[in-house]
């Protein structure tokens, strides 16, 4: 996913009951556009198209979220609201979809807001500058094990010196990770940031921020290919649960008495857990896969 760019999630099907696998492609790509970009894949479309062209039968879809930065066209949500109220809920959506489709491997790529969402979902650590204080990995451990590679382009959480940091930036983004941060899935990541970028670094060139696909697209695609071939599925997951089996109920979290706490999942396609929110919260539909107590 990208901040003012896009993100991408790719999955490969594994053995499972035929009725759950028959409609699932071997490789499926999720793309999340950057802030202010129109619906679609945003700046990540270069890498998305490389994957679709290289793997016949692969499919792709764009993640439906506001990608808002205060503009009227997306309801005036602030950047923080777009991230916290909608963007980070997509982590639960990914977990549910992975469990339902029985995918073994996945790939994410994105920029700016999309990259920031993917970074927190896969690496944890929260996003305190934006008001998101949950430091746990947002994907369940089973979903993390399916993610094969993650590509960040222009990630505001960039810090120079991490094993997966690639580019000319020697500073940090406006939501930079703290010193000593360690992503448990770092071996699956390549994060790109160049010095002229005003969001992941301290530059002033807006165009450079949106050029990572053309500059680093081939390098990112080569990394994806290597990861898919290596079968590297290590890394740690969060507390969402392993889901397991074929329930499609990965990571459901209910409170005492069969109620769901604030920010917990209360509905969505395939959801079989509690649907009643703790007072005073109500169940709000985020998308067809995920509803959340807010």
Q: Given this model, what pLDDT does residue 63 score?
A: 72
Question: Which CATH class, in words, describes the domain spanning 6-230?
Answer: alpha beta
Residue 22: pLDDT band (50, 70, 90) is very low
User: Which residue, among 140, 143, 130, 106, has the nearest Cα to 7 in the 3D structure?
Assistant: 106
- C-alpha span between 226 and 118 (Å, rounded): 20
Structure tokens at 222: 């080569």
Give the count of beta carbons closer than 10 Å to the beta carbon of residue 184: 17
Q: What is the mean pLDDT of residues 223-230?
A: 84
Where on the phi/psi map is residue 57: left (φ > 0), alpha (ψ -120 to 50), or beta?
left
Place of tokens 């998305």: 48
- How many residues are listed for the chain in this entry? 294
Question: Best-predicted range by mean pLDDT among 61-70, 153-162, 261-270?
Answer: 153-162
**Cα-flanking dihedrals φ and ψ of residue 147, to 5°?**
-75, 120
Give the lowest-confidence range in 32-36, 148-152, 243-247: 243-247
Residue 107: pLDDT above 50?
yes
pLDDT reading at 9 higher than 70: no
Residue spans of beta strands (DSSP E) within the chain: 6-13, 27-33, 59-62, 103-110, 147-153, 165-166, 189-192, 259-260, 265-267, 276-277, 283-287, 290-293
What is the reported pLDDT for 274? 84
Distance separating alpha carbons of residues 282 and 226, to the nearest angstrom: 44
Among 245, 286, 243, 244, smallest CA distance to 263 is for 286
As a whole number, mean pLDDT of residues 264-272 equals 70
What pLDDT was estimated at residue 251?
Answer: 34
pTM of the model: 0.70
Tokens of 294: 């807010």
- Rounded to whole angstroms, the Cα distance separating 98 from 14 reads 11
Residue 54, pLDDT > 60, answer yes
| Range with lowest mean pLDDT among 100-114, 163-177, 202-216, 275-289 | 100-114
> pLDDT-derived band of residue 260, with 50, 70 and 90 as boundaries?
confident
Based on C-alpha coordinates, what's the Rg of the chain? 18
DSSP secondary structure of 67-119: --SS-GGGTT--HHHIIIIIGGGHHHHHHHHHHHHTEEEEEEEEBBHHHHHHH
pLDDT grade for 29, boundaries at 50, 70 and 90: confident
What counts of helices (H) and strands (E) characterise the chain? 8, 12
Residue 254, SS3 per DSSP:
coil
Distances (CA, A) of 46 to 149, 213, 237: 16, 6, 29
């Amino acid at each position: 996913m990208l901040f003012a760019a896009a993100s991408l999630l790719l999955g490969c099907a594994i053995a499972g009951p035929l009725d759950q696998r028959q409609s699932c492609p071997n490789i499926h790509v999720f793309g999340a556009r950057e802030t202010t970009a129109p619906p679609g894949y945003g700046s990540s479309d270069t890498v998305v198209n490389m994957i679709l062209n290289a793997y016949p039968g692969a499919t792709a879809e764009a993640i439906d979220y506001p990608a808002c930065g205060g503009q009227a066209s997306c309801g005036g949500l602030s950047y923080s609201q777009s991230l916290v109220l909608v963007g980070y809920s997509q982590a639960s959506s990914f977990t549910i979809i992975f469990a339902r489709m029985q995918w073994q491997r996945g790939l994410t790529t994105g920029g700016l807001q999309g990259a920031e969402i993917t970074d927190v979902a896969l690496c944890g650590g929260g996003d305190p500058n934006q008001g998101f204080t949950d430091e746990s990995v947002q994907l369940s451990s089973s979903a993390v094990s399916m993610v094969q590679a993650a590509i960040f382009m222009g990630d505001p959480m960039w810090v120079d010196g991490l094993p997966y940091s690639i580019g000319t930036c020697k500073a940090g983004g406006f939501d930079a990770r703290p010193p000593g941060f360690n992503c448990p899935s770092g071996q699956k990541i390549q994060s790109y940031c160049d010095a002229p970028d005003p969001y992941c670094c301290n530059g002033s060139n807006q165009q450079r921020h949106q050029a990572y696909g053309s500059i680093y697209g081939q390098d990112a695609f080569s990394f994806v290919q290597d990861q898919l071939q290596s079968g590297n599925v290590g890394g740690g997951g969060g507390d969402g649960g392993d889901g397991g089996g074929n329930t499609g109920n990965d990571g459901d979290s209910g409170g005492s008495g069969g109620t769901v706490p604030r920010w917990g999942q209360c509905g969505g396609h395939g959801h079989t857990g509690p649907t009643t929110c703790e007072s005073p919260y109500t169940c709000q539909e985020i998308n067809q896969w995920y509803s959340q107590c807010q």
